């Protein structure tokens, strides 16, 4: 084959690859966005679930063309440019095949641009989503309005919540081997193995552990926060739909890690109020036995002996202070 025709076919190859790529990418992106996108797990039960589903779909729309492009290139090369083809010309050798500055520079510029866009997009999404439902540690910087007030009041024991008040509801998640229990500081600090939250409410999950590291994963709520001993890990979400959800432990915590799950429920605000006040009164005897409410608890680490104690350093909830810890003498 003459060099001229080789060059001619070269241009055709590249153009053909690009055309196929653009068509495939557009079609598959549109199919994904409109057919699959709205159903991407874990659904749209909360603000964070909805936002993170959108994020996932955006990444997918960017990622699909990348995958299609590389696979198409591999497939095209595998079919077109192998020695089994009878009309296969000599491969392009020589110094020209060892590099092409324009291709290299454009590749670097394009990938860098895409990657920087992704990082900016992720950061904006994280800030706009008030932390996107992920554990932010004891001093969250991204939080909904009213969180500081609600959390401060909760620790002081003066917190209140009522239906349609638009107040943030603090819920404490206590992980231990191998079950989560939940304390409601705004309702006398009662503790329950049931997680029930009101609809249309900003929830502040305060996650801590009495022993090893667990991870609180409220799947449909799109909340995930590691439960660390002696640390309060706060995550926010806003419920937007009624329904049931699943809570699971997503950090290996020992023998019964796989069985560390429980169902939860988003109910209407008035139904929640009824449940919370009823449980508060039925549990009153046991609530009196519980350790006073605190963000973290210090178990006696030497075995069975000893209960848990509230964190000695009960400073007010603050976005800047780091909580110390002292076991009361």
Residues 152-171 contacting other proteins, CB under 8 A:
none
* 2 sits near other proteins (criterion: CB under 8 A): no
* 253 sits near other proteins (criterion: CB under 8 A): yes
Among residues 123, 268, 270, 274, the one that binds other proteins under rule CB under 8 A: 123
Written as six digits, the tokens of 70 are 């590389």
* 61 sits near other proteins (criterion: CB under 8 A): no
* 320 sits near other proteins (criterion: CB under 8 A): no
Distance CA 154, CA 22 (A): 55
Q: How many Å is the Cα radius of gyration of the chain?
A: 28
Name which of 52 and 186 has its Cβ closer to other proteins: 52
* 51 sits near other proteins (criterion: CB under 8 A): yes
* 140 sits near other proteins (criterion: CB under 8 A): yes
Residues 282-295 as b/e (b if ≥16 CB within 10 A, e otherwise) read ebeeebeebbebbb
- 265-304 binders of other proteins (CB under 8 A): 283, 285-286, 289-291, 298-304
For residue 42, say if its preceding peptide bond is cis, omega within 30 degrees of 0.
Answer: yes
**Could you give phi then psi for residue 319, rounded to 5 degrees?**
-85, -10
* 18 sits near other proteins (criterion: CB under 8 A): no
Among residues 25, 134, 186, 201, the one that binds other proteins under rule CB under 8 A: 134
Written as six digits, the tokens of 150 are 């609600």
Name which of 144 and 269 has its Cβ closer to other proteins: 144
* 91 sits near other proteins (criterion: CB under 8 A): yes
Name which of 129 and 159 has its Cβ closer to other proteins: 129
Could you tell me the smallest distance in angstroms from the CB atom of residue 284 to other proteins? 10
How far does Cα 103 stand from its chain's mean position? 37
* 71 sits near other proteins (criterion: CB under 8 A): yes
- Strand bridging mode 195-198 / 202-209: unpaired
Among residues 19, 23, 27, 70, the one that binds other proteins under rule CB under 8 A: 70
* 32 sits near other proteins (criterion: CB under 8 A): no
* 148 sits near other proteins (criterion: CB under 8 A): no
Q: Give the residue among 148, 206, 140, 182 at the shortest CA–CA distance from 272.
A: 182
In sequence order, the 6+-apart residues with CB closer than 8 A to the CB of 59 are 118
Among residues 200, 211, 242, 265, the one that binds other proteins under rule CB under 8 A: 211
* 200 sits near other proteins (criterion: CB under 8 A): no
Segment near other proteins (CB under 8 A), from 20-28, 66-74, 195-203, 310-318?
66-74
Query: Hey, which residues does 284 pair with through a beta bridge?
Result: none
* 240 sits near other proteins (criterion: CB under 8 A): no
Could you tell me the smallest distance in angstroms from the CB atom of residue 233 to other proteins? 4
| Site size for other proteins (CB under 8 A) | 124
* 99 sits near other proteins (criterion: CB under 8 A): yes
Among residues 61, 152, 308, 310, the one that binds other proteins under rule CB under 8 A: 308
How far does Cα 133 stand from its chain's mean position? 5
Q: The tokens 């590389």 sit on which residue?
A: 70
Could you tell me the smallest distance in angstroms from the CB atom of residue 80 to other proteins? 9
The 3-state secondary structure of 251-309 reads CCCCCCHHHCEEEEEEECHHHHHHHHHHHHHHCHHHHHHCCCCCCCEEECCCCCCCCEE
The H or E element spanning position 182 is strand 179-184
């Amino acid at each position: 084959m003459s060099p001229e025709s080789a060059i001619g076919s070269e241009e055709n190859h590249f153009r053909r690859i690009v055309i196929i790529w653009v068509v495939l990418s557009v079609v598959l992106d549109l199919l994904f966005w409109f057919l699959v996108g709205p159903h991407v797990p874990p659904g749209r039960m909360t603000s964070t679930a909805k936002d993170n589903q959108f994020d996932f779909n955006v990444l997918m729309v960017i990622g699909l063309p990348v995958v299609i492009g590389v696979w198409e290139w591999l497939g095209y090369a595998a079919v077109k440019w192998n020695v089994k083809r009878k009309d296969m010309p000599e491969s392009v050798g020589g110094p020209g095949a060892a590099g092409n500055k324009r291709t290299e520079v454009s590749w670097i510029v394009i990938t860098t641009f895409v990657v920087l866009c992704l990082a900016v997009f992720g950061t904006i999404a994280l800030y706009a989503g008030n932390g996107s439902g992920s554990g932010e540690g004891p001093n969250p910087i991204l939080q909904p309005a009213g969180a500081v007030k609600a959390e401060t009041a909760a620790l002081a024991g003066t917190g209140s919540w009522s239906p349609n008040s638009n107040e943030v509801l603090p819920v404490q998640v206590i992980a231990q081997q191998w079950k989560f229990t939940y304390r409601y500081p705004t309702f006398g600090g009662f503790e329950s193995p049931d997680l029930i939250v009101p609809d249309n409410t900003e929830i502040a999950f305060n996650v801590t552990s009495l022993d090893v590291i667990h991870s609180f994963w409220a799947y449909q709520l799109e909340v995930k926060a590691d439960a660390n001993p002696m640390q309060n890990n706060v995550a926010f979400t806003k419920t937007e739909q009624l329904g049931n959800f699943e809570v699971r432990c997503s950090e290996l915590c020992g023998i019964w890690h796989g069985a560390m799950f429980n169902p939860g429920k988003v109910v209407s605000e008035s139904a929640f109020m009824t449940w919370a006040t009823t449980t508060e009164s039925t549990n009153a005897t046991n609530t009196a036995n519980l350790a006073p409410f605190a963000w973290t608890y210090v178990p006696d680490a030497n075995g069975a002996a000893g209960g848990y104690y509230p964190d000695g350093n009960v400073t007010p909830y603050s976005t800047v202070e780091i909580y110390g810890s002292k076991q009361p003498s």
